[in-house]
Amino acid sequence: MRRRWLDRYAIAALRMGRRRPLSCTALMIATVSAATSVPGQQRAPSADELRSMYCVEVMRAEIDLQHHLISAADAAAASATTPALRQQWIDTSAELLQGLASLERVRYRLQTYMLPRIPALEPLALATAVRQGATDFEESRAVADRCAVECNPQQNQNAQAPACSASCGNDSALSRVSACYKPEWLPQ
């Protein structure tokens, strides 16, 4: 029930024209911290807790992007001119749905790890981690888009695989975001 309300809040914020809606994660931190905190009893989060909050935001953004891609694939399938092209878009949509399920499992693990800890943690540090996750996600998308163009031999005839992988694989934001897809620091 609470998640549905948070999702509805994000959708409503987008419809009202906010460029970036208040993150559901940030809203969760503020709500839980305000309701349960006693001043002076909060501790600084550990590195794993900060990394987890960062990754919750990265997963949220990635899931939003995945939903957009699924909608686009479904629309393309509906307007396909040939049965073969329609099937190709349906297959793409199915792959995206599998990826979405995987992302949601990771987000659930991160949230399950963090939810009981949030009331005891300093909210400003958690909010900073969330903002950094959002910033790094946007940066990593820009790098990925740039690299897709630069390194695609069909679009760029000067593309050289070793040079592309070297220039695109060394981005620090991309590396930090990529670590979120397999959060090995979380207990099993």
What total number of domains does the chain contain? 1
Residues in the chain: 188
Report yes or no on 11 lying in a domain: no
Q: What is the rounded distance in angstroms from the CA atom of residue 167 to the CA atom of residue 12?
A: 39
16 in a structural domain: no
Closest among 33, 32, 31, 9 to 22, alpha carbons compared? 9
In a domain, 148, yes or no: yes
Q: What is the pLDDT along the chain (188 residues), one digit of tens a residue?
A: 444 434 444 444 444 444 444 455 555 555 545 545 555 689 999 999 999 999 999 999 999 999 999 999 999 999 999 999 999 999 999 999 999 999 999 999 999 999 999 999 999 999 999 999 999 999 988 888 888 777 776 655 655 555 666 666 667 888 899 999 999 999 87
In a domain, 35, yes or no: no
Whether residue 96 contacts residue 66, with contact meaning beta carbons closer than 8 Å, is answered with: yes
Cα dihedral 173, 177, 179, 183 in deg (nearest 10): 140
Q: Is residue 169 a part of any domain in this protein? A: yes
pLDDT of residue 143: 83
- 63 located within any domain: yes
pLDDT, residue 40, reads 61
Domain that holds residue 106: 47-179
The answer as to whether 7 is a domain residue is no
Please tell me whether the overall predicted TM-score, pTM, comes out greater than 0.75 for this model. Answer: no
Nearest-5° Cα angle at 61, 112 to 54: 55
Could you tell me the two tokens for 187? 């207990």
